[in-house]
Amino acid sequence: MGTRAGVYPAALTLTDAAGQPTPLMVNIRVVSGNYRPETITLLEGRGALLNVAVEDAELTILNRVMARFNPSRYFDGPLGLPAAAAMTSPFGVVRQYNDGTVERVHFGTDFAGVVGSPIFAPAAGRVVLADTLNVRGIATVIDHGWGVFTGYWHQSERYVQVGDEVSPGQVIGTIGDTGRVSGPHLHWELWVNGVPVDPMQWARQSFR
């Protein structure tokens, strides 16, 4: 995100089973994502949640949780969808809030839904965060192993706690309008080794 399209060199180091490192230079091509802009009008009284200090404090919590690496892999095949609802906002769009003076990149996928609609675990995993946050509202993070985490924001109710093991399709909470929102919906995020990626890509194909 934020990198111009083009070809970029990258220096890698491969380490074999004996611990012997091998340097490797590769070229990585970045293509345009053609992400469209969105205009968001927050619910009344939620504008203060655009404060950068509030956002940064919350990201510190999430980064600490998602910095862990679990060598076990709990996911198998494409992920299931977390809600039986229409997708309303994709990953990567640039959002302009209220009067257009504040912009943020959308690092997840939104699903519309009425308050109380079920949220499903897309794969097996272990709950590593279950909290109420300022921006993200009632929130849950699941560790699926191999550095893969999924997050579920703005819930009205949360049915799991830290340490719980979840199975694919298990109801883990309900859609709500808590935190920084324009209305009821589920915001679904997926992080790989600390980097947010498009969760719908993981729902369309299998990664191993």
Residue 99 has pLDDT above 80, yes or no: no
Question: Which domains occur in the chain, in start order?
Answer: 35-204 (2.70.70.10)
pLDDT digits (tens, 9 = 90+) for 19-66: 999 999 999 888 776 677 788 888 989 988 989 999 999 999 999 999
**Considering Cα of 80, then 150, then 96, then 35, what sign does the dihedral take?**
negative
**pLDDT band for position 177 (50/70/90)?**
very high
The enclosing H or E element of 102 equals strand 102-105
**pLDDT band for position 179 (50/70/90)?**
very high
Judged by DSSP in three states, 20 sits in coil
Two tokens at 144? Answer: 């699926």
Cα 42 to Cα 60: distance, rounded to the nearest angstrom: 24
Could you say which DSSP state residue 7 is in? Answer: E
**pLDDT band for position 195 (50/70/90)?**
very high
Tell me what pLDDT residue 17 has.
Answer: 86
Residue 184 has pLDDT above 70, yes or no: yes
**Considering Cα of 144, then 20, then 16, then 12, what sign does the dihedral take?**
positive
- Return the percentage of the chain with pLDDT > 90, whole number: 75
The enclosing H or E element of 136 equals none
Contacts of 68 (CB under 8 A, 6+ apart): 128, 143
